[in-house]
C-alpha cells in the first residue's frame, strides 16, 4: 500500500540539521573509474531531464552550489557526488529521456548507471523524481525496471506540485501509486514536493536523514 509520507517534528529537525551542514562537491564521474570509493551512506537522485532535479537539490540543501556544479557543461552527463559532512553522500545522476539524446547516448547512460548500481554497497536509496503534471512515463518505468533488477531500494518523489490544479494531485498520486505497486523494489512511501513553494522538502529531508548514521 502506497501512502503520502508523514513524519514527526523530531524527524524533521534531524533532517534540517543534516542538510544545514555544508554540502561539498566531491567529484564527477563519467565512467566507473571516476566513482569515488566511500563508506558513507549514499542517496542517488534520478529523473528525466527537466523533471526539476536541480531545483529540488537546491531546495534540499538550501544552496545553489549543487545544481551549479551539476549543470556545468561537461558535467551534465556525469554522476556528480556531494557530501553532507561525514554523514551522507548525494549522487546526482545524469537526467534521461531528453528528445535530443541519441541512441548511443542513451546506451551510455544505461551502461554508466548499471555500473554505478552494481558496485555501490553504500547506496541506501535511489530517489526517482516524477513530474507531477505527467506521472510516470514509459522511460521512468524502464528506469524502475532497471532498479528492480538491481535490487536497489528506491522511492518516488513527485515534483512541481504547485503547477497542478486543485484536485489533480489526488489523481496523479493514485496513478503513481498504481505504477509503484507493480515494482518490487519501490518503497511504499510517496513524497509530493514543490521546490518552488518548499512543500514536502522538510519531509524528504527527514526521510533521507533516517538513512544517515547519527
Ligand atoms: P532538471 O533538468 O531536472 O535539473 O530540472 P530543473 O531543476 O532545471 O527545472 C526544470 C524547469 O522546471 C525549470 O524551468 C524550473 O524553474 C522548473 N521547476 C523546477 N521545480 C519546480 C517547482 O517546484 N515548481 C515550478 N513551478 N517549477 C519548477
Q: Cα–Cα distance between 44 and 22 in angstroms, integer? A: 18
Instruction: Output the CA 182–ligand 1 centroid distance in Å.
Output: 28
Instruction: Output the CA 184–ligand 1 centroid distance in Å.
Output: 29
The best mutation among 48, 55, 75, 132 to test binding of ligand 1, ranked by most ligand atoms within 8 Å of the C-beta, falls on 55
What domains are there in the chain, each with its CATH number?
3-209 (3.40.50.300)
48 lines ligand 1 (CB under 6 A): no
This prediction has a pTM of: 0.94
Per-residue pLDDT of 118-168, as tens digits, reads 889 999 999 999 999 999 999 999 999 999 998 899 999 999 999 999 899
CB-based contacts of 23, cutoff 8 Å, min separation 6:
61, 63, 65, 66, 82, 83, 84, 90
Amino acid at each position: 500500500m502506497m501512502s503520502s509520507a508523514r513524519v514527526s517534528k523530531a524527524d524533521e529537525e534531524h533532517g534540517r540539521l543534516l542538510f544545514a551542514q555544508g554540502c561539498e562537491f566531491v567529484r564527477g564521474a563519467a565512467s566507473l573509474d571516476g566513482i569515488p570509493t566511500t563508506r558513507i551512506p549514499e542517496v542517488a537522485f534520478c529523473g528525466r531531464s527537466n523533471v526539476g532535479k536541480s531545483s529540488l537539490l537546491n531546495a534540499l540543501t538550501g544552496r545553489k552550489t549543487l545544481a551549479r556544479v551539476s549543470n556545468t557543461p561537461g558535467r551534465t552527463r556525469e554522476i556528480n557526488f556531494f557530501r553532507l559532512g561525514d554523514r551522507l553522500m548525494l549522487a546526482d545522476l545524469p537526467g534521461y529521456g531528453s528528445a535530443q539524446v541519441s541512441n548511443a547516448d542513451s546506451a551510455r547512460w544505461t551502461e554508466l548507471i548499471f555500473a554505478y548500481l552494481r558496485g555501490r554497497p553504500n547506496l541506501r536509496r535511489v530517489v526517482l523524481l516524477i513530474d507531477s503534471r505527467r506521472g510516470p512515463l514509459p522511460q521512468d518505468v524502464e528506469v524502475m525496471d532497471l532498479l528492480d533488477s538491481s535490487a536497489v531500494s528506491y522511492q518516488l518523489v513527485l515534483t512541481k506540485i504547485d503547477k497542478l490544479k486543485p484536485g489533480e494531485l489526488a489523481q496523479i498520486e493514485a496513478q503513481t501509486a498504481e505504477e509503484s505497486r507493480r515494482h518490487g523494489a519501490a518503497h511504499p512511501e510517496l513524497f509530493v514536493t514543490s521546490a518552488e513553494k518548499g512543500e514536502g522538502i522538510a519531509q524528504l529531508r527527514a526521510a533521507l536523514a533516517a538513512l544517515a548514521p547519527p
